[in-house]
């Protein structure tokens, strides 16, 4: 079984975001970019499946500008076998990414697609569910634990009230939650080896996908700022403030 994982290039989670002065978006020039943390978890899970013999090949997919090659290389250094870059320079929204992924799935016929539950830049939490819909496949979202057995996957999901267990037919789409695993760091020898692994570059047109954005971004603004309050010295003072100033207890 092949496993396809999606890896998105995003602004590193440690970077302090700055909104552009002209309100068209956020500053991306000269900021550190990394693989979306949820996608590191997706890559790790796929590699573990291969190590256990449940998967035969792990393919890393990314869509975006040419620099997404670096993100794919990171996945290859972790242990993925080869990469597919769908190169597109404009904005890619979740529906478009799902359509690109579908086109690649049609070609590669993986048994599982593993993507992050959300990308930490746009925070949409849509792509995996959309892909499952387009393929007519089952979906195991917000996965906390996976067990692949006999043509189906047992998925433990992180839900509002705790955990939920479902069993879904394969082929299937999985979206990762934080507790699924702890991704490994790539070792230096593996980083060197990854340089020789193949990455295929495709264009959206060649896949027959129209990636034009459906949502129009009118503006991007700073959120209202919260002012720091005061420091109290004692518990008694805190309780007094909460009672008599804020009126919340």
Ligand X SMILES: Cc1cc2nc3c(=O)[nH]c(=O)nc-3n(C[C@H](O)[C@H](O)[C@H](O)COP(=O)(O)OP(=O)(O)OC[C@H]3O[C@@H](n4cnc5c(N)ncnc54)[C@H](O)[C@@H]3O)c2cc1C
Dihedral of alpha carbons 227, 232, 235, 237, sign: negative
Q: Which does 239 bind (CB under 5 to 8 A by kind): ligand X, another protein, none?
A: another protein
String of contacts with another protein for each residue 191-230, x by CB under 8 A: -----------------------xxxxxxxxxx--x-xxx
Instruction: Identify the residue among 17, 31, 192, 206 touching another protein (CB under 8 A).
Output: 17
Cα–Cα distances in angstroms (integers) from residue 49 to residues 24, 105, 107, 194, 201, in the given order:
42, 18, 21, 19, 26
Strand partners of residue 155: 146, 166
Q: Fill in the per-residue mask, 15 to 44: x = in contact with ligand X (CB under 6 A), - = not in contact.
A: ----------x----------xxxx-----
Closest by Cα among 1, 183, 8, 179 to 86 = 8
Does position 242 interact with another protein (CB under 8 A)? The reply is yes
Which one of 74-82, 115-123, 150-158, 200-208 is the stretch in contact with ligand X (CB under 6 A)? 115-123
Q: How are beta strands 152-159 and 138-149 bridged, if at all? A: antiparallel
Which residue, among 108, 103, 167, 157, has the nearest Cα to 135 in the 3D structure? 103
Which window, 121-129, 163-171, 187-195, 241-249, contacts ligand X (CB under 6 A)? 121-129
Find the shortest distance in angstroms from Cβ 176 to another protein.
11
Q: Residue 62's binding partner, choosing from ligand X, another protein, none, with beta-carbon cut-off 5 to 8 A by kind?
A: ligand X
Number of Cβ within 10 Å of residue 132's Cβ equals 24
Count of residues that bind another protein according to CB under 8 A: 79
């Amino acid at each position: 079984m092949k496993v396809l994982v999606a890896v998105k290039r995003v602004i590193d989670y440690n970077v302090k975001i700055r909104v552009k002065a002209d309100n068209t978006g956020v500053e991306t020039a000269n900021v550190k970019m990394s693989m979306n943390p949820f996608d590191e978890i997706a890559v790790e899970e796929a590699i573990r499946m291969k190590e256990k013999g449940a998967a035969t090949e792990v393919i890393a997919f990314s869509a975006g500008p040419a620099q997404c090659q670096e993100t794919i290389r990171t996945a290859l250094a972790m242990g993925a076998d080869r990469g597919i870059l769908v190169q597109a320079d404009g904005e890619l929204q979740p529906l478009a990414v799902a359509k690109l992924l579908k086109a690649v799935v049609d070609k590669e016929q993986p048994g599982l697609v593993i993507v992050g539950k959300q990308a930490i830049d746009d925070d949409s939490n849509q792509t995996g569910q959309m892909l499952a819909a387009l393929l007519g496949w089952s979906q195991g979202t917000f996965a906390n634990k996976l067990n692949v057995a006999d043509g189906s996957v047992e998925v433990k999901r992180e839900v509002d009230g705790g955990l939920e267990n479902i069993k879904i037919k394969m082929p299937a789409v999985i979206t990762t939650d934080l507790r699924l695993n702890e991704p490994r760091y790539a070792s230096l020898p593996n980083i060197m080896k990854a340089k020789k692994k193949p990455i295929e570059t495709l264009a959206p047109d060649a896949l027959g996908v129209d990636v034009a954005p459906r949502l129009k971004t009118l503006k991007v603004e700073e959120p209202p700022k919260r002012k720091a309050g005061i420091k109290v010295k004692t518990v008694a003072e805190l309780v007094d403030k909460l009672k008599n100033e804020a009126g919340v207890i």
